[in-house]
Amino acid sequence: MTLPPVDVVVVGAGAAGGIVAEQLALAGFRVVLLERGRRQQFGESGHDELRSQRTTVLGNAFGPDDAHYVRLAESGDGQFRKVLPSEGAYNNVAACVGGGTFSYGAMAWRYLERDFRMKSTYGTPAGSTLADWPLSYADLEPFYTKAEWEIGVSGKAGANAFEARRTKPYPMPPLPFNTEASLLEPAARRLGWHPFPIPMAINSVAYQGRPGCVACPHCVGFACEVNAKNSTAVTAIPRALATKLCELRTQTVARRIATNDRGQATAVEYFQEGKLYEQPCRAVVASCSATETPRLLFNSASKLFPQGLGNRHDWVGRNLQGHAYSGAYGLFEREVFDGLGPAARVACCDFNHGLPNGLKGGAMLANEFIRLPYLFARNAIAPGVPLWGLEHKRYVRAWYKRSMAVQGPVQEMPVFESRVELAPELTDAWGIPTLRIRGHRHPNDLEVGRFISSKAEAWLKEAGAVKTFPKLPGAGVSGGQHQAGTCRMGDDPQTSVVDRYCRIHDVDNVWVVDGSVHVTNGGFNPSLTIQAIAYWATARMIRDLPKA
C-alpha cells in the first residue's frame, strides 16, 4: 500500500533517530519515525535480572525477539552458525522506542580531542584502517553541549582534568558518591591519578518535568521506574510528537529504501502486521545501529548501487568496532556493597592516551554498575575457585558484598575485515535478508586491555582490596551494544560512506545518523557522541533540505 508522502522518513527511534525526528519536526518538516520495536513501560519488564539488557538468558526484554530475528556469527573454526538475538554473538542493540537508551547505563561521555585525531596521534598500525575524523572536537563541542542540556546530563564541569574546553557546565550536579566511589576516589588521588564523578544521562535532581534518581540498584540494563534515566523515549521523542509534525509508527520493519533512476531515495518500504507499506518521502535517515543500518543499505541495492546503497567502494559494513572492555575485580575485607544504584560513580581518564610501549589509544577506567547475583556467580569468580559445587557457593556468599569491579572500554583499532555483510540465503521472519558477522579484534586492543587491566588491579589494591584478578577481552570480532564504524564518515568517497554531515556520498537525500558513522569509537561509552553527531547532522540537514 502506498501512503501519502512526507518530507523525511527516519528509520529507528533510538539514541540518534529520536533526536533527528525531533529536530526536523521542530524545524517544520513532516516526519515519519519508524521503529521495529514497541513503546515500552517499566512495568512490562520490571527488575528481572534474567530478562535485562545485560542478562538476556530468558530473552531480550527490550527486543529484538528470538522468534522473528536471526543472524549468522563466525565461530573460532571459521564456520558460521545461526545465533538468536538473546545470544551474545548476535551483537544485539535493543529494539524499542528509545532503542538502547531506554535501558542503558547512561554514562554520557564527550570523547577527547585526540579521539577524533587517532591517525595524526598514532599513525596507522598494520592491519588497521585507523584514520582521523573529518571533524574535530571543537566542531562538535556546541552539539555536545546541546545534547547535555536537551537530553539531560548530570556531572561536574571541570572535574575531568583531561576533558577539552567546554562552553557550558552540566545542567545538573553529579549523582552522589556511593561506598565504592568513596573508597576509590581517594585511592586514585594517592596514586597520582585524576578521579572525578562520571557524567550520567540520569537526573540527579528534577529536570524537564521528571524526577531525580531514587538510587535503585536495577539501573544498567533496566527501564527506569521513575523515568529519571534520560532516554530519547522520554526526552526527544515526546517533544517530536508534540509538534504534530512527527508520526511515530511502532512495530514497523523497514525492508528497503526505494530509489529512482538518478539514485535518489523515493520511499521506504516497511512491514507492519504482515502488510507491506510504501512511505514516499523526499529524504531518508537511517538510524538503525551499526549492524542494522548497513543491512538496510545492502538490502536497498539498485541498478546504480548493485552492492548496496552507498556501497560503491565496498566500505559499508566494514570496520565494525565496539569496545574491548578490560579491568579487574577486587575482593575486600569489609562490605562495599550498599545497594545504591547506578553504582558506577567514579572514573579516571589518565589512561585514555599516552600509554607506554607504543600502545595506541586506551580507555577511561570506572567502577562498574551493580553486579546482580546471577552475573556475579558466573563472571566474578577468582581464578582457582571452582565454577560449581560447595566451594563456589561459599565464594559467592562470602564475596558478593565484599567485591568491586573497575573496568574501561578500550578504544579499538578499526579492522577492514571485521564486518557485517548479508548472510547468504538467511532471512528474518519477514523474508528480509539478514546479516552475518565476522572478523577479529586488532592485537593492539588486547595489549591495551592487559595494560588497562593492570591499572584496574592497582586501583583496587590501593583502595584496600585483599585480592584482585583481571578481566580481559577476547580476540574475536567486537560490536555489542557500543557497535560503531560500519558507515565511516570521511571527506574521500573512496574510503568512506558518508560525508562529514552524515550524508551518503553521491546519494544526496539519504543520511546515516548513528554509531555507524564513527571513524573510531573513543575509549568511552558512545551514546552522547552519537547524539551530538545527530544534532550536528540535522543542523546541516535542515539547511540543505528545503521545505516542500
Partner 1 sequence: MDLAGYRMEIDRRLFLAAVAATPLYAAAPLVSFSAGEARLVEALCDQIIPADDAPGAKEAGVLYYIDRQLAGALARFAPNYRQGLAQLASACRERTGREFLSLPFGDQTAFLKDVASGRAPGLDAFFRMVVDHTMQGFYGSPAHGGNRDEASWKMLGVTGVMEGHQH
Residues that bind partner 1 (CB under 8 A): 46-50, 57-59, 84, 86, 214-218, 225, 331, 337, 339, 372-374, 376-378, 382, 384-385, 387-401, 466-467
CB-CB contact of 301 with 307 (8 Å): yes
Q: How far is the CB of 77 from partner 1 (least distance, A)?
A: 15
Q: How far is the CB of 2 from partner 1 (least distance, A)?
A: 39
CB-CB contact of 106 with 148 (8 Å): no
Q: Which is nearer to partner 1, 67 or 161 (CB)?
A: 67
Q: How far is the CB of 154 from partner 1 (least distance, A)?
A: 18
**Separation of first and last alpha carbons in the chain:** 23
Q: Which is nearer to partner 1, 83 or 258 (CB)?
A: 83
Q: Which is nearer to partner 1, 49 or 247 (CB)?
A: 49
The 3 state secondary structure assigned to 200-265 is ECECCCCECCECCCCCCCCCCCCCCCCCCECCCCCCHHHHHHHCCCEEEEECEEEEEEEECCCCCE
Q: Which is nearer to partner 1, 242 or 398 (CB)?
A: 398
Q: Which residues contact 310 (CB under 8 A, 6 or more apart)?
A: 297, 316, 487, 497, 498, 504, 505, 506, 507, 510, 512
DSSP 98-117: TGGGGTS--B-PPPPGGGGB
Q: Which is nearer to partner 1, 27 or 106 (CB)?
A: 106
Q: Which residues contact 264 (CB under 8 A, 6 or more apart)?
A: 507, 508, 509
Q: How far is the CB of 256 from partner 1 (least distance, A)?
A: 30
Q: Which is nearer to partner 1, 69 or 111 (CB)?
A: 69
Structure-block grid coordinates of residue 379: 563472571
Nearest C-alpha neighbor of 529 from the set 53, 139, 119: 139
Q: Is 60 helix (H, G, I), strand (E, B) or coil?
A: coil
Q: How far is the CB of 373 from partner 1 (least distance, A)?
A: 4
Q: Which is nearer to partner 1, 394 or 547 (CB)?
A: 394
Q: Hey, CA dihedral for 147, 540, 167, 368, is it positive or negative? A: positive
Q: How far is the CB of 220 from partner 1 (least distance, A)?
A: 15
Q: How far is the CB of 305 from partner 1 (least distance, A)?
A: 37
